[in-house]
């Protein structure tokens, strides 16, 4: 998922370092582990596991990350390169770190809305709910306090997808799942539709065994990617990934990618929905907070195309889609209307020809040309 601080640092709100009285010496590593996992479940994290930080402080798969950067596959996501050292060496930022409690919570993964009419049908599933940063922040604050009070540790530091941490690598090391060929973390029984967070601790509870890969010879995700962004097993070219452009860069994508955007206003789910481990019968119930309804979920694509600031602010107030911004959402919806030649959106796209924003006008002109092009 792709919401991080641009400078590779953590927000003072989202990542906090906390201290309390030293953990009791009487608690064994096994008891620490059991207690930590029990508390994690109580605080809204059904997926949980522990990984030890080696004496070197090196992050698992740091060599893979370095090779990815050397190939320039981070694309326009400069913060991935700028934070390379601290992502690869955890103790650069947290010198007392000894272990990581990796955490996960499931989001809504069911198909929603009518394709070609409803906005929700054209938004990635992870982005449909409430802003998970806000939800996790509250839970992590309470969980970290509970860990310290229980004597599992005396110091904690947490992140929610914003700090310079290779989340999937640590989660894999903690046994939450393996890094699939699509680059997503996959749980062997419950798929990949979940969010990650982590708490760094100054103690060393009994660790979990790392997850082993189970993709085998399957390459559905690689073959199904509309932009061929998956170059091999777990190797993502962010230059070509739709999420880079329609979420991270708020729709400011090069024209060469507009047709490839297909039916996605924000994000893309294809590499996950084709995965056998995400078969509907496998998927667990989503977290209630993530699945709670939001005002924007009743909007149509046409309404999104002509949306103004007032509607965006009211409908997307607590949504993860605020990341895309008003302009990004409109650009995405115009692009989808043109790609799918949606008759019910044509008038809305035509109205954009008079928009004060030159980027909106240009995208509308492109979309209308798609309408008029021969099939």
Contacts 24+ apart (CB under 8 A), 108-113: 108/193, 108/286, 108/290, 108/291, 109/191, 109/193, 109/278, 109/283, 109/286, 110/280, 110/283, 112/297, 113/297
Cβ pair 266, 246 in contact under 8 A: yes
What CA–CA distance (Å, rounded) separates 122 from 134?
24
Judged on CB neighbours under 10 Å (0-12, 13-18, 19+), 363 is buried
- CB within 8 Å of 230: residues ≥ 6 apart: 181, 182, 183, 221, 222, 236, 237, 271
Single out the catalytic residue among 118, 131, 161, 269.
Answer: 161
Partner residues linked to 89 by β-bridges: 58
Tokens of 182: 């699509």
* 97: Cα within 13 Å, side-chain hemisphere: 26
Active-site residue, 161 included: yes
Cβ contact 6:83 at 8 Å: no
Alpha helix ranges (H) inside the chain: 29-42, 62-70, 78-82, 84-88, 132-149, 167-173, 220-224, 242-243, 270-273, 288-291, 301-305, 309-315, 325-340, 346-351, 358-372
Helix (H, G, I), strand (E, B) or coil at 116: coil
As annotated, the active-site residues are 161
């Amino acid at each position: 998922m792709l919401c991080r601080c641009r400078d590779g640092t953590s927000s003072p709100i989202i990542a906090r370092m906390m201290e309390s009285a030293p953990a009791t010496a009487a608690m064994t590593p096994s008891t620490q582990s059991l207690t930590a996992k029990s508390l994690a479940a109580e605080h809204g994290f059904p997926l949980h596991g522990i990984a030890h930080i080696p004496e070197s402080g090196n992050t698992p798969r740091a060599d893979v990350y370095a090779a990815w950067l050397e190939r320039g596959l981070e694309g326009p996501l400069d913060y991935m390169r700028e934070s390379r050292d601290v992502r690869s060496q955890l103790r650069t930022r947290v010198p007392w770190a000894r272990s990581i409690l990796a955490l996960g919570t499931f989001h809504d993964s069911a198909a929603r809305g009518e394709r070609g009419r409803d906005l929700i049908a054209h938004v990635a599933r992870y982005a449909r709910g409430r802003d998970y940063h806000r939800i996790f922040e509250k839970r992590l604050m309470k969980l970290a306090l509970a860990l310290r009070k229980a004597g599992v540790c005396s110091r904690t530091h947490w992140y929610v997808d914003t700090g310079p941490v290779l989340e999937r690598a640590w989660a894999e090391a903690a046994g939450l799942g393996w890094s699939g060929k699509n680059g997503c973390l996959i749980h062997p029984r419950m798929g990949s539709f979940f969010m990650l967070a982590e708490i760094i601790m100054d103690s060393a509870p009994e660790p979990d065994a790392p997850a082993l890969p189970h993709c085998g010879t399957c390459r559905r995700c690689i073959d199904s990617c509309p932009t061929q962004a998956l170059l091999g097993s777990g190797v993502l070219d962010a230059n070509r990934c739709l999420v880079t452009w329609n979420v991270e860069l708020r729709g400011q994508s090069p024209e060469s990618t507009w047709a490839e955007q297909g039916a996605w206003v924000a994000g893309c789910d294809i590499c996950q929905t084709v995965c056998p481990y995400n078969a509907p019968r496998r998927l667990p119930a989503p977290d209630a907070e993530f699945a709670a309804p939001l005002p924007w979920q009743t909007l149509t694509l046409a309404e999104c195309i002509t949306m103004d600031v007032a509607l965006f602010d009211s409908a997307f107030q607590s949504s993860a889609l605020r990341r895309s911004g008003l302009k990004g959402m409109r650009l995405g919806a115009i692009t989808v209307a043109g790609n799918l030649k949606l008759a019910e959106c044509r008038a809305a796209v035509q109205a954009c020809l008079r928009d004060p924003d030159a980027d909106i006008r240009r995208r509308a002109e492109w979309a209308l040309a798609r309408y008029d092009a021969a099939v």
